[in-house]
Amino acid sequence: MKKRFKLVDLDCANCAAKMEEAIRRIEGVNDCTVSFMTQKLTLDAEDGRFDAVLQEVVKTCKRVEPDCTIVI
């Protein structure tokens, strides 16, 4: 399943790259892009446990770039 989320206060391009890298490593994530330009996160994760994966993604985001929040 693929879903797109808006990101608020994503202020630096390198942080976006780091977030993307970290989210990709989460188990259950098939693919992920964090676009600094559109301020959007596209998450492609396993269907069955999308919500669980999303929780993990939010946690990762908090760790890598605490200023940035994912709008769900």
Handedness of CA 72, 67, 56, 26 (dihedral sign): positive
Question: Per-residue x/- mask for another protein, residues 36 to 65, rule CB under 8 A?
Answer: xxxxx-x--------------------xx-
Among 27, 46, 51, 67, binds another protein (CB under 8 A): 67
Among 28, 35, 50, 69, binds another protein (CB under 8 A): 35
Q: Between the CA atoms of 10, 12, 24 and 34, what dihedral angle is there, to the nearest 10 degrees?
A: 60
Work out whether 25 is an interface residue with another protein (CB under 8 A): no
